[in-house]
Amino acid sequence: MTRPLSVALAGLGTVGSGVLSLLRDNADVVRARAGRPVVVTAVSARTRTRERSAALAGLRWFDDPLALAADPAVDVVVEVIGGSEGIARELVEAALGHGKPVVTANKALIAVHGAALAAAAERQHAQLAFEAAVAGGIPVIKALREGLAGNRIARVAGILNGTCNYILTAMREERREFADVLAEAQRLGYAEADPTVDIEGVDAAHKLAILAALAFGRPVAFSDVHIEGIRRVSQLDIAFAGELGYRIKLLGIAERADGGISARVHPAMVPAAAPLARVDGVTNAVVAEGDFVGRVVLEGAGAGAGPTASAIVADLIDLARGRLTPVWGAAADALTPLPAVPILAHDGCYYLRLMVVDRPGVIADVTAVLRDLGVSLESMLQRGRAPGEAVPVVMVTHETREEAMRAALARIAALEAVLEEPVLIRIELA
Amino acid sequence: MTRPLSVALAGLGTVGSGVLSLLRDNADVVRARAGRPVVVTAVSARTRTRERSAALAGLRWFDDPLALAADPAVDVVVEVIGGSEGIARELVEAALGHGKPVVTANKALIAVHGAALAAAAERQHAQLAFEAAVAGGIPVIKALREGLAGNRIARVAGILNGTCNYILTAMREERREFADVLAEAQRLGYAEADPTVDIEGVDAAHKLAILAALAFGRPVAFSDVHIEGIRRVSQLDIAFAGELGYRIKLLGIAERADGGISARVHPAMVPAAAPLARVDGVTNAVVAEGDFVGRVVLEGAGAGAGPTASAIVADLIDLARGRLTPVWGAAADALTPLPAVPILAHDGCYYLRLMVVDRPGVIADVTAVLRDLGVSLESMLQRGRAPGEAVPVVMVTHETREEAMRAALARIAALEAVLEEPVLIRIELA
């Protein structure tokens, strides 16, 4: 029998414990698929609590995770500490520096420092694997980097944050407001005590930056991603979306446009029959469109101990089998640094919702602004009459450049009869 | 630069031409992802027609495909001839015999002879790859064998035949009968002139046998698959399915049951909200349930030149990169030959539809038979009254063993008031 793959585990939170459980519960399955045993031999975490002692019996304990990187008895370091800076980053750099392969679930680290880490991995001929960083247990990294590798990808889009999708689903199904659902999600453990990174779209943007790099064979560029969160999505707009045949989802989208790549995370109106519209609750899904394969959809649990451990162990099995792939699917010198297309150059249809005083002439003023800026309307919806009071007006545009849309919006917001900040939501057809 | 991977292509039908196109159109993408050029250098097909001459300029032509297997200038043989016997089988055996890797789209060959071919591949240390054999361009082989490799899979189910799904979708949406839709599908090219292999479920069973072997880490066993086609699905049953909240799909299902594996292809009632119920037209989809990852769904085009070429080229890129995996995910001695569970031992809920004479006492007779055999009913539906004439009666059972269900069915069919052969459709919950 071949020598076991000796794994050092840095981090013993939910995900780290999940990896320990999987490698113990499914040792026979993993051994058959990896062609050799895959065993955790060393661990490091912040605190060595008593409850852990049973689970950790027989494992070497390291107070300093960096020591794992240098340990000659360690074949691969699994980093599940998290965070784009600090000890997680130091550990991954140190391990790669020693030529040791790394498996990580750390989307922030890969999104922000992935280009430099990939260079280090290539220099040292050490694998850097991160299937668990995007969409939990769904093998989407493998699908893009290997399964669809023969395709020129035109677009990749996904529901990449379970917390946001849970909140938007509950808002729609239970007709409740954002703040109310968020508070409940926090109580139930679907949202963090500080939900900013999820709610503001940053977590989804980390994942999208990774998908975009893989899909288009270019170095990862997190700072190129345009990011908007879901805090401003209201019950009113969700209801209008339903009337118009759409659902509101927080999407991450990366697509070829104008000779570059447009990468953006924002709430979007999606036709109710589109694959991503039907993905509810904490489920994640990714749609990839390739020139030969057509459209492929992958769906599953995007987070949690089990799914994340599943992805990490898949990476470990690849390592054990010697199945190696460059970080971004191609060697650094074969990547093409396509330029980023700024959000102002986005072309698409828009949903625009205003609160206006219900009096003659208001719609004429609004539509005159749109006409002057070359924005043409596909439809308009006005519900309820309340002379002299505030009423919502909804407009859906034909394809428009975002720059024109924003200029129109600024002028419309300045109209005296327009009472609140107008709401603008991009429409995505798939 | 590394030496190109020299590919011999056996078969120049739709799929073979698709592979040629992809490797030419996307040569840059493939080269970056493969780390070296991947080029077709030799071809073989039945006839060397004039239209092909441009596309084949510069390629070595072989009248005898078997010569490709022995040619020292060929690194890998792509077999897209098809068929489980004859020249396709001989070619794959010969190539593996020469220690040459093989990429094939041939589901029948892999399902029927996969165990022996895997043994030959292992003996000769030659890769045998067949991503294109199941679900076209959807990377489902890679997902099961690598992406979900850490999981104990409980169940894999899928819509594996686009022709059948197209027919069932059209029957439901356009309220037409099977024969009518089949004739149209043949005119449109969605069904073969001889549609038997698709319609009777054999093609889906080939694919299911492959998925079952991968999911459960056991040698492929096509003869263990229970097969029923869609010929007997009627408009009436599709309409009743809709009323009951189901859709009728031809599913391939492999699951752990009673210490063995139940593998079956048959029309099934699926709840309308289940992922597989929403997959319409020629689209394929596969659901895999793993103990750590939970439920993962993959969806996309299941056939056609582009998607199939995408899968074949993914296999070629794996080969070019040296990413090797045993045929069934584990070496032969690490496979576990789980016993097949016969269909008579299947436990599930059933939809039963009878045509009975509308007169007093008939329902009492039918339900007495069910009671005597321990089959309990969840619901019953009787539509329309026509005293003395034939009316449909629909029953849905609680969980029942198939053996009891069939015994009941035989007795019910023998009742004088039961006018046609009863229809029995299994209900699947996902």
For the stretch A254-301, pLDDT in tens is 999 988 999 999 999 999 999 999 999 999 999 999 999 999 999 999
Distance of CA B23 to the CA centre of its chain: 27
Residue B336 lies in a domain: no
Query: Which of A373, A359, A378, A358 shows the shortest CA–CA distance to A411?
Result: A373
Structural domain harbouring A381: 346-427
User: What does the alpha-carbon distance between residue A235 and residue A241 come to, in Å, rounded to a whole number?
Assistant: 10
CB contact residues (below 8 A), chain A span 314-333, against chain B: 314, 316-318, 321-326, 329-331
What does the pLDDT read at residue B362? Answer: 92
Query: Which of B272, B247, B271, B243 shows the shortest CA–CA distance to B384?
Result: B243
Q: Of the candidates A33, A292, A323, which has its C-beta nearest B309's C-beta?
A: A292
Mean pLDDT of A54-79: 92
B291 with B383, same domain? no
CB within 8 Å of A339: residues ≥ 6 apart: A259, A260, A261
Q: How many CB pairs under 8 A join A and B?
A: 217
Query: Which of B58, B17, B89, B23 shows the shortest CA–CA distance to B314?
Result: B23
Say which CATH number the domain at B216 has. Answer: 3.30.360.10
For the stretch A403-429, pLDDT in tens is 999 999 999 999 999 999 999 999 998
CB within 8 Å of B86: residues ≥ 6 apart: none
Q: Of the candidates A151, A298, A304, which has its C-beta nearest B26's C-beta?
A: A151
B159 with B258, same domain? yes
A288 with A399, same domain? no
A178 with A290, same domain? yes
Mean pLDDT of A316-326: 97
B144 with B129, same domain? no
Query: Which of B330, B141, B290 shows the shortest CA–CA distance to A18?
Result: B290
Q: Of the candidates B137, B275, B323, which has its C-beta nearest A294's C-beta?
A: B137
User: What does the alpha-carbon distance between residue A102 and residue A324 come to, in Å, rounded to a whole number?
Assistant: 12
Query: Quick one: which H or E segment has residue A418?
Result: none
Residue B252 lies in a domain: yes
Please indicate whether residue B51 or residue A320 has the higher confidence score (pLDDT).
A320
B282 with B370, same domain? no
Find out whether B294 and A306 touch, Cβ atoms under 8 Å. yes
Selected catalytic residue, list B100, B107, B142, B207: B207
Q: Do A300 and B296 touch (CB under 8 A)?
A: yes
What does the pLDDT read at residue A16? Answer: 95
Band of pLDDT at residue A53, cut at 50, 70 and 90: low
User: What does the alpha-carbon distance between residue B254 and residue B274 come to, in Å, rounded to a whole number?
Assistant: 17
CB contact residues (below 8 A), chain A span 180-209, against chain B: none
Strand partners, B262: B255
Within 10 A of B46 (CB to CB), how many other CB atoms are there? 12
For the stretch A111-144, pLDDT in tens is 999 999 999 999 999 999 999 999 999 999 999 9
Q: Of the candidates B139, B149, B329, which has its C-beta nearest A147's C-beta?
A: B139
Percent of the residues in chain A that have a pLDDT greater than 90, as a whole number: 90
B174 with B123, same domain? no
Count of residues in chain B: 430
Q: Of the candidates B138, B142, B150, which has its C-beta nearest A317's C-beta?
A: B150
Q: Is A207 designated active site?
A: yes
Find out whether A30 and B150 touch, Cβ atoms under 8 Å. yes
Check CB contact of B138 with chain A, cutoff 8 Å: yes
- Considering only CB atoms, which chain B residues are within 8 Å of A147? 131, 139, 142-143, 311, 314
Say which CATH number the domain at B117 has. Answer: 3.40.50.720
What does the pLDDT read at residue B412? Answer: 97
Q: Of the candidates A146, A293, A324, which has its C-beta nearest B301's C-beta?
A: A293
Tens-of-pLDDT digits for all 430 residues of chain B?
589 999 999 999 999 999 999 999 999 999 999 999 999 999 999 877 655 666 788 899 999 999 999 999 999 999 999 999 999 999 999 999 999 999 999 999 999 999 999 999 999 999 999 999 999 999 999 999 999 999 999 999 999 999 999 999 999 999 999 999 999 999 988 888 899 999 999 999 999 999 999 999 988 999 999 999 999 999 999 999 999 999 999 999 999 998 899 999 999 999 999 999 999 999 999 999 999 999 999 999 999 999 999 999 999 999 999 999 999 999 999 998 889 999 999 999 999 999 999 998 999 999 999 999 999 999 999 877 788 889 999 999 999 999 999 999 999 999 999 999 999 999 998 7
Band of pLDDT at residue A55, cut at 50, 70 and 90: confident
Residue A316 lies in a domain: no
CB within 8 Å of B248: residues ≥ 6 apart: B168, B172, B233, B237, B238, B241, B267, B268, B269, B270, B425
In chain A, the residue whose alpha carbon lies closest to the alpha carbon of B330 is A33
Residue B196 lies in a domain: yes
In chain A, the residue whose alpha carbon lies closest to the alpha carbon of B216 is A29
Distance of CA B30 to the CA centre of its chain: 28
Q: Do B307 and A324 touch (CB under 8 A)?
A: no
pLDDT reading at A238 higher than 70:
yes
Band of pLDDT at residue A2, cut at 50, 70 and 90: confident
pLDDT reading at A1 higher than 60:
no
What does the pLDDT read at residue B259? Answer: 86
Q: Do B26 and A292 touch (CB under 8 A)?
A: yes
User: What does the alpha-carbon distance between residue A159 and residue A142 come to, in Å, rounded to a whole number?
Assistant: 18
Check CB contact of B256 with chain A, cutoff 8 Å: no
A25 with A111, same domain? yes
Instruction: State both tokens at A66.
Output: 């960096």
One-letter identity of residue A222 = F
Which of A95, A117, A133 terminates a domain? The answer is A133
Number of domains comprising chain B = 3
Find out whether B400 and B348 touch, Cβ atoms under 8 Å. yes
Q: Of the candidates B275, B307, B331, which has its C-beta nearest A294's C-beta?
A: B307
Query: Which of A66, A134, A133 shows the shortest CA–CA distance to A100?
Result: A66
CB contact residues (below 8 A), chain B span 101-120, against chain A: none
Residue A207 lies in a domain: yes
Residue B338 lies in a domain: no
Q: Do A142 and B145 touch (CB under 8 A)?
A: no
Locate tokens 């994640």: which residue? A284
A198 with A292, same domain? yes
Query: Which of B163, B190, B128, B137 shows the shortest CA–CA distance to B22?
Result: B137
CA atoms within 13 A on the CB side of A270: 24
Query: Which of A416, A341, A415, A410 shows the shortest CA–CA distance to A375?
Result: A410
User: What does the alpha-carbon distance between residue B145 and residue B325 come to, in Å, rounded to a whole number?
Assistant: 8
B125 with B60, same domain? yes
For the stretch B274-309, pLDDT in tens is 999 999 999 999 999 999 999 999 999 999 999 999
What does the pLDDT read at residue B50? Answer: 57
pTM of the model: 0.96
Which of A133, A159, A176 terminates a domain? The answer is A133
B269 with B149, same domain? yes
- CA dihedral of A66, A72, A76, A82, whole degrees rounded to 10: -10
Average pLDDT, chain A: 95
What does the pLDDT read at residue B1? Answer: 56
A55 with A198, same domain? no
Strand partners, B391: B356
Computed from CA positions of residues B176, B182, B184, B188, in that sequence, does the dihedral angle turn out positive or negative? positive
CB contact residues (below 8 A), chain B span 281-300, against chain A: 290-300
Min Cα distance B429 → chain A (Å) is 17
- Considering only CB atoms, which chain B residues are within 8 Å of A275? 299
Min Cα distance A352 → chain B (Å) is 31
Query: Which of A386, A33, A417 shows the shortest CA–CA distance to B329?
Result: A33
Residue B319 lies in a domain: no
Q: Do B33 and A291 touch (CB under 8 A)?
A: no
H helix intervals, A98-223: 107-124, 140-142, 162-174, 178-188, 196-199, 202-216
Q: Do B147 and A314 touch (CB under 8 A)?
A: yes
Strand partners, B299: A297, B285
Which of B267, B285, B302 terminates a domain? The answer is B302
Selected catalytic residue, list A107, A142, A207, A249: A207
| CA dist A134 → A25, A158, A285 (Å) | 24, 10, 10
Check CB contact of B60 with chain A, cutoff 8 Å: no
H helix intervals, B255-401: 305-321, 362-372
Residue B328 lies in a domain: no
User: What does the alpha-carbon distance between residue B18 and residue B255 come to, in Å, rounded to a whole number?
Assistant: 34
What does the pLDDT read at residue B382? Answer: 86
CB contact residues (below 8 A), chain A span 66-85, against chain B: none
What does the pLDDT read at residue A57? Answer: 83
- Considering only CB atoms, which chain A residues are within 8 Å of B30? 149-150
User: What does the alpha-carbon distance between residue B79 and residue B88 come to, in Å, rounded to a whole number?
Assistant: 7
Q: Do A22 and B323 touch (CB under 8 A)?
A: no
Min Cα distance B236 → chain A (Å) is 26
Instruction: State both tokens at B150.
Output: 């850490």
- Considering only CB atoms, which chain B residues are within 8 Å of A321? 324-325
Say which CATH number the domain at B404 has. Answer: 3.30.70.260
